[in-house]
Amino acid sequence: LNHRLRGRSSDADARFVEKLAERYQLDFELSSANIGALARKKKLSIETAGRDSRYLFFAKVARRRRCHTIFLAHHADDLVETFLINLFRGAGGAGLAGMREVSSRHINNAAMTVVRPLLGVWRKQIDKYVRKHGIAFREDASNRNLNPLRNRIRHRVMPYLEKILGRNIRSAVWRAATITSDEKAWIDKQVPCLAEMQFSVEQLRTLPVALQRRAILKWLRMQNAAEVGFDVIERIRSLLEPDTPIAKVNLARDQHARRRAGRIFVE
């Protein structure tokens, strides 16, 4: 699979992968999209627009070919960088979501299993393997431009931290990220299924704080609430307090969460 992004080198990337697929007698699928225009239209970052578009392509191919398992080549350094990006950017209400070796995703009503078999392998090890076996490869030029925050973390923050702290930060962060992802995934499974449009205050109050946050996050996402961050979730949690004078919390796009008759709902 290759997803063409605009730019000089993406055609060459596509040709390279196509030839590789031919050589190994594998099927080849190609799609292209104007990510810049999409990002402007949907008011997303280039990186988010690119990812959304990529997953839509995966879902389309998955449906057509009845093949619902996608393998992605994220490696250990990607895992560490993504964790730090989420940490430093605030990570929204979900906290430190991470990449997992096996995860599920729903795209356009298609259930897909995403497998990342290289999460435990460092970029250095891959480079070494590639050199040792004389394997031809292409560096994705868009990697350098897609996410300035990722680039700054990769090229400036990581080397600085390792120099100043004098230790292998990468392994430590990798372990913390892996433990945290597994714990988050498990917690998510414990959140009661609250498919109703209205939330019972009584029911929410009985949950521990950690599950309240997860339940509110899940529920807001079901209502298509935009920009759900920690502050919004904490304000909705304040609606649960017995003596709270607050009965309304502002959300983005002129939406509100409101408590009335023992329930919370979005309007």
- Interface with a second copy (CB under 8 A), residue from 121, 185, 194, 201: 185
Verify binding: residue 121, a second copy, rule CB under 8 A: no
Verify binding: residue 149, a second copy, rule CB under 8 A: yes
Rounded Cα distance between 58 and 69, Å, is 10
- Interface with a second copy (CB under 8 A), residue from 169, 215, 228, 239: 169
Name which of 137 and 160 has its Cβ closer to a second copy: 160
83 within 8 A of 169, measured Cβ to Cβ: no
> HSE-up of 122 (CA within 13 Å, CB side)?
8
User: Which of 103, 111, 60 lies closest to 82 in space, CA to CA?
Assistant: 103
Shortest approach of a second copy to residue 234 CB, angstroms?
9
φ/ψ (deg, to 5) at 108: 50, 50
Name which of 108 and 168 has its Cβ closer to a second copy: 168
List CB contacts of 157: < 8 A, sequence separation 6 or more.
84
Site string for a second copy, 62-101 (x = CB under 8 A): ------------------------xxxxxx---xx-----
Using CB under 8 A as the binding rule, the residues of this chain from 208 to 267 that contact a second copy are 208-211, 213, 230
User: Which of 84, 114, 109 lies closest to 97 in space, CA to CA?
Assistant: 84
**Residue 186 token pair:** 């498990």
Q: Which residues bind a second copy (CB under 8 A)?
A: 86-91, 95-96, 149, 152-153, 156-157, 160-161, 164-165, 167, 169, 171-173, 175-176, 178-180, 182-187, 189, 208-211, 213, 230
